[in-house]
Structure 1
Amino acid sequence: MNSVVKWILFLFVLVSLLLNVILIGIYSSRAPKCSSQRTHSLRGKHDERSRVFADLTRDEYLQVQRYMLKQKDLDISTRQLTKPSENFLFLIELSLPKKVDVLSYLDGGASKPVREATVVVFYGSKGLIKEYVVGPLPNPTYHQDVTVKRYKTELPFNARTVTIGEYELLFQFLKKELFGKLPELMKESFGADKKLNPFEQMPRGLQSGDRKTWVSFFRDMSGMYIHPVGFEVLINHMSLNESEWKVEKLLYNGQYFDTVKELQQKYAAGSVKRIIYKETPDYGSLKPKNKPLQLSPLQYYTEGKRFSVSGNHVLYLDWSFAFGLSSLTGMRVFDVRFKGERIAYELSVQEAMSVYGSVTPGMIITKFLDSSIGIGRFAHELVRGTDCPHEATYVDTYRYIDVKSSVRARNSICIFEHNFGQPLRRHFSDFFSNSYGGMVNSALVFRTITAIGNYDYMWDFIFYQSGSVEIKVHATGYISSSYLVNGSLKHGHQVAENVLGNIHTHFINFKVDLDVLGVKNVFQTKDMEFVNVSVPWMPNR
């Protein structure tokens, strides 16, 4: 009997396992699956004509560079450490074709506009900045000087941005003419073996033609921008001969000095209120103080992605658009269509500006115009799961600005569909009848993040199912600070020991070229006006 019971129990367990496997298989086949494959076809088709807006490829950058170097009369260098007195090929970028030519190509069946590049050369030998148009791409045969045509005048050489080559000379100058001449002060005030990081302020002077930069110094720590040390210098670097550069002013612990020698002598004589070095907490670190207890929620596409990216063209439900990333101005999209109708020819970032206030010299005059150093230039690789969802589509970009050859920025653009967590539209009726209608607020996000100095700007172009577009920017990163001195608190708030978070304002400028029902439309604003009117059934009231 025992053996029979054992066999019966064994068969029961075996049958139970088989039934469970079968039931799990049936249930799994019915349950929704997380799939990377699209289960429904797209509503439109990718348009290869969008390439008219595409950024230059790595090969096109190379071909333009080679062409310019072959022009011996231009005498151009591509060495990254080129001196200010030499000629340097600073920028290569797509030269956007005229709108009328593009629309004739897209809508009228005209031939494709000639593809060209804009090239900027810093001519130290001539004291000028030149801008050229080079084409046709991908195999250029001509270049045209368009400087006066575009700017109505020649561009003076002092209007150029500071290149990596000039920065290298500035660092050497600081080491020799400043740090090397103040050994006692550097040791006692800032630590014998501690490094100081310079952070320049803009603009470089108080009038056109100046090239005098206030440089503030910060501790070499995480988030250096909130670790000021109370030392600033004004460097005159107008001359193309770096041996003629000089320190014109110094600020130490709120006290001004005309020369390095004056500061050295007064410091040694004990007539200066000294800064005594001490360790500072690493409060600027981005490392978490506590380990997260569990993973955060993840986003996934249950039935695959409802958008598609081909080259520089995007399809999403009823939307389609072309995109690019300018080294100077950043994000831009073109030929934006909804249900096949163009509603915008161009939506693009143009400028990011921040204006500061302070009693210390650097922050007194600071007005950062980020396009002057390049907004898109600082679009770096995006981190999956933090900067963008894991399942986003990532796009590489290439740029040529202040380099010796084009640079690839891997995964510097991300595109994803996002559920914003609230209905796009909904209504629940419990008056006379009960009913509910709602629409999920899921939209396509086109994003890049540019880290410009202390600030990280997150640029989002958002395409909603309702046919509306939102463009927004979110600023993160670090504040820019200055050393706390007498009178500082009128221009900000104390954020740490001897650290002032300076008052400042951001201005962001976008270009919006709407083409609703064609190109002949305008946007007008009018002041609101209130007018008293009588109701028809009481005309005397």
Structure 2
Amino acid sequence: MEWRAKPLITLTAACFFAVLILLLIFPFDGGFSTPNYQSQKKQSFVAPKTNIWADLTESEASDIYDFLYKDLTYLNLTKHPKSNRDNFIFIVEALRPNKTDAVSYLYDAGPAPRRWAKAAVAQHIHNEPYMVYYMVGPLPLSPESRTVPLEYVFNSGRNYVKNPVQDFVAISEFGLTIAENISDITQDLLGAVANRENPDDPLGLICWPRGSRIERGGFSLWFQLYKPGLGSGARTLLPQGIYAKVNASDANIDGWTVGQFYYNGVIYDTEEDFRAALSEPDFVRTPPNVDGPWSDTEDFESSPPGRELPPPVSVQPYGPRYRLDREQQYVSWFGFEFYITTAQATGLALFDIRFKGERVMYELGLQEAMAHYAGDDPMQGGLEFMDSFFGMGKTMFELVPGYDCPAYADYLDTRFHQAHKTHELPNSICVFEHTPDYLLSRHTAQYSVTASRNTYLIVRAVSTVGNYDYTFDYVFYMDGTLEIKVRASGFIFAAFYARNSNKNENEYGHRIHDALASSMHDHVLNFKADLDVAGPTNDMVRLALEPITTTYPWDKPEVKDRNTMHLVEHAVTEEAGLDWPKNSGEFYLVYSADQKNAWGERKGYRITSGTGMGSTPHLTILNSTTLGDSARWAEHDIWILQRKDTEPRSADPLNYFAPHDPLIDFTKMANHESLKHGEADSPYDGDLVVYFNLGAHHVPHSGDVPNTLQHTSASSVMFVPHNFNDRDPSRESVQGVRLQLKGTKNSGGFAGETSINGDLRSRLDRRVGAQKLHDIKYFGSTYEQGMKLPLEAFEPDLERYRSSEHAVTDLSYNGSAAGVWMKGAE
């Protein structure tokens, strides 16, 4: 079935980037409703507490906008900026409460923490553009409410970042001007020219910038020519081999100048030098990068054997086994309980995660998603993205039922508030239980075989940032394990392949099409896990498996020394960054400082690299020239820090604009403070926090064309109970069967059953009500006869759904945290 959407709007070249901004800030209003094919009673399930991390309601956001216009009159704020000199409110959203204020409400029956909001304001200070953070509250707004600078969460000592790019419309027009000024060159070398009237012209050219903040405070831009793609979204697969450098150090774009040009490994100092070189007899032309069916993500024509039949699907005939409070976004499932929330920059996050009534984590969520490239051309050679800058929450677009998630999943809507409007993102989170293709456990004994089904709960969202779709899974297992998994798919950001033996293209990737090369890059996604293992007072240890040579008295005299191994515990006594150990030779454990299980062992959780493509990585590049101090969290796999209200995050979206002097400098957080608690001269109370990285070292190959596949780009980290329970708690919840094997010996029977005539007998078969022999016994329920499911349980009718057009970030600064102004926006 075909997914129907409104046709794309034709844009004029002058407003191309501006309208992309407009679309992102004023996205689609439509959506779809998920059919409920299951005839079940509406669950009357209510969360035990209010979701104190929930985002603002539309009414709250509207009140905050009105309040800011009155409280910040000196800024002369405007709702619809018409000039890059206008001051305006870019975003408002909930300011999450400090943990110190929340724990009393959550665990000690104290009052709910006062609710506050934060706002990002684009304003001019001394005639220069800045992005400035404020906090507004308490809510609901009253005479005691106020607007104050939001400073305490930033270790830079300031709440603002200078915006180095004042006018994105002008930048897009500047790029088009570059292309137009060398139209004779582009026609000669690429067979195409820029089309200002229609930048989406598949035969035309567009011009993209890559910005770099340099350490001395300047701003440098390299522009590269691209083809827009034949409607497939494959723009990042269509780079062309012409690059132009722009001196953008002047605060006024009118003072920008075009300097060098780069083509086929040669730098030309001026446009005239480049043009003159074309007529030289030894000038070498490279083939252009031409679009075609090779970039299509769909193949509607091929029909290998088997494609005429649909694949197997998962169904849920009796309805969900989890319980969901939609209003509070609270979930309960087989001992797990938690709250769901989102943020504009970082998307999906979970709070107050408990298992069997005991505390496990206070907070679990994304902090930043970074991609750092390497290459031998001016674009790839310095390319990096910090995706929170573009909004991982703002780009959580609707999920496709029956494809992104099973047809039976529950779908939740989210919203964000930007540019004086509330934007609804329908069906952007799904919750469902799933049975994978492997058992949770099994065992074959001499007289019986036991098989336990494996089911887990998934909370899923997808963030589409430019060319990549990131699927985020929070997975809950019946034994108390949590897994955080990320998969990436979409178009790679590829490089132009020049076929030049003097270049080093194969040093950074592979040739993957006629004039296209892959570009190696690291994906490093940083997450926060505020563990409260059986309470807030925890210790971190490295439990090492170490070889040892020792002597045992029972070995003598035959063996004098025995080479073996043993466990050695190393306490982590100060803040540190750790990498996954060689040969998996250490267990990273977070223990409760005072709670033990029935056997006297400390209750704990193990942190381990989970399922996916090998161990999760950290950044390959040492002391990145591009990143500066904006992403030092990427330099190790996991970090253990003191938890502080003044350090709620490892990064901020506006770090992208100040990499050498970021709002949040992670090195100031991970500064080797003591993790010893209970000492008279230390304020540290044992409440630690873990930051960990997911991602991949991605060297794209021909199989990444047209799209990277999710099973080759997955990584995860798991938090596994380690003596947290007295035994495996999944035994209480799991569904399974034990089959008694035929034999002559009277052993291996079921607990509580006696032998009859020498045989183990007696089981009333619940499905047919007939007396049978002793051979089968189920734990949990089984499916009954006579089940009927409608077609939508297998293949949702997507013809019923209508989705309006929405924008996806184009990986320049459009629609990002920069707070751009919209030309002619209403």
TM-score (norm: length of structure 1): 0.84
Q: Deviation per CA, 1:289-322, whole angstroms, max 9, x where unpaired?
A: 4364132223221211112322221122322110
For the residues of structure 2 that align with 1:513 and 1:529, how far apart are their CA atoms?
A: 29
Query: CA shift at 1:135, angstroms?
Result: 1.4
Code of the aligned partner of 2:174 = F
Does residue 241 in structure 1 map to residue 245 in structure 2? no
Query: CA shift at 1:255, angstroms?
Result: 2.5
Paired residues for 1:27-426 under 5 Å: 36-37=38-39, 46-47=46-47, 49-70=49-70, 71-79=72-80, 82-83=83-84, 85-126=85-126, 127=128, 128-139=130-141, 141-147=145-151, 150-154=154-158, 157-158=161-162, 166-176=167-177, 178-188=178-188, 189-192=190-193, 194-201=203-210, 204-207=212-215, 209-221=217-229, 222=232, 223-267=234-278, 272-275=283-286, 279-289=290-300, 290=302, 292-310=307-325, 311=327, 312-401=329-418, 403-426=419-442
Query: CA shift at 1:339, angstroms?
Result: 1.7
Distance 1:149 1:299, change over 3 A: closer
SS of 2:480's partner is coil
Query: CA shift at 1:39, angstroms?
Result: 8.0
Code of the aligned partner of 1:112 = A
For the residues of structure 1 that align with 2:204 and 2:89, how far apart are their CA atoms?
A: 32
Code of the aligned partner of 1:301 = Q
- Given that 1:201 and 1:363 are in contact with CA atoms closer than 8 Å, whether structure 2 keeps it comes out as no
For the residues of structure 1 that align with 2:248 and 2:157, how far apart are their CA atoms?
A: 24
Higher deviation after alignment, 73-82 or 404-413:
73-82
For the residues of structure 2 that align with 1:87 and 1:39, how far apart are their CA atoms?
A: 51
Q: Matched residue pairs, number? A: 496
Alignment correspondent of 2:626: none
Query: CA shift at 1:37, angstroms?
Result: 4.5
- Given that 1:50 and 1:322 are in contact with CA atoms closer than 8 Å, whether structure 2 keeps it comes out as no
Structure 1 residues without counterparts, runs of 5 or longer: 1-33
- Given that 2:118 and 2:150 are in contact with CA atoms closer than 8 Å, whether structure 1 keeps it comes out as no
Distance 1:316 1:196, change over 3 A: farther
For the residues of structure 1 that align with 2:547 and 2:538, how far apart are their CA atoms?
A: 27
SS of 1:225's partner is helix
SS of 1:179's partner is helix
Higher relative contact order (CA 8 A, sep 6+): 2
Paired residues for 1:17-36 under 5 Å: 36=38
For the residues of structure 2 that align with 1:465 and 1:91, how far apart are their CA atoms?
A: 39
Distance 1:200 1:38, change over 3 A: farther
Query: CA shift at 1:521, angstroms?
Result: 0.6
Higher share of residues assigned helix: 1
Higher deviation after alignment, 261-270 or 218-227:
261-270
- Given that 1:226 and 1:478 are in contact with CA atoms closer than 8 Å, whether structure 2 keeps it comes out as yes
Alignment correspondent of 1:484: 497
Give the alignment partner of residue 464 of structure 2, picking from 431, 442, 451.
451
For the residues of structure 2 that align with 1:357 and 1:515, how far apart are their CA atoms?
A: 39
TM-score (norm: length of structure 2): 0.56
Q: Deviation per CA, 1:229-266, whole angstroms, max 9, x where unpaired?
A: 11223334454433223334332333323344443454
Query: CA shift at 1:183, angstroms?
Result: 2.1
SS of 1:231's partner is strand
Code of the aligned partner of 1:489 = N
Alignment correspondent of 2:642: none
Alignment correspondent of 1:25: none
Distance 1:488 1:277, change over 3 A: closer
Distance 1:444 1:236, change over 3 A: farther
- Given that 1:358 and 1:364 are in contact with CA atoms closer than 8 Å, whether structure 2 keeps it comes out as yes
Query: CA shift at 1:137, angstroms?
Result: 2.6
Code of the aligned partner of 1:170 = I
Query: CA shift at 1:537, angstroms?
Result: 0.8
Code of the aligned partner of 1:184 = D
Structure 2 residues without counterparts, runs of 5 or longer: 1-35, 196-202, 562-826
Paired residues for 1:487-506 under 5 Å: 487-506=504-523
- Given that 2:176 and 2:207 are in contact with CA atoms closer than 8 Å, whether structure 1 keeps it comes out as no
Give the alignment partner of residue 488 of structure 2, picking from 450, 453, 475.
475
Identity %: 26
Query: CA shift at 1:533, angstroms?
Result: 2.1
Code of the aligned partner of 2:425 = A
Code of the aligned partner of 2:431 = I
SS of 2:541's partner is coil
For the residues of structure 2 that align with 1:212 and 1:144, how far apart are their CA atoms?
A: 34
SS of 1:361's partner is coil
For the residues of structure 1 that align with 2:253 and 2:42, how far apart are their CA atoms?
A: 64
Distance 1:38 1:198, change over 3 A: farther
Distance 1:149 1:327, change over 3 A: closer
For the residues of structure 2 that align with 1:38 and 1:317, how far apart are their CA atoms?
A: 20
- Given that 1:46 and 1:314 are in contact with CA atoms closer than 8 Å, whether structure 2 keeps it comes out as no
- Given that 1:35 and 1:304 are in contact with CA atoms closer than 8 Å, whether structure 2 keeps it comes out as no
For the residues of structure 2 that align with 1:137 and 1:69, how far apart are their CA atoms?
A: 16
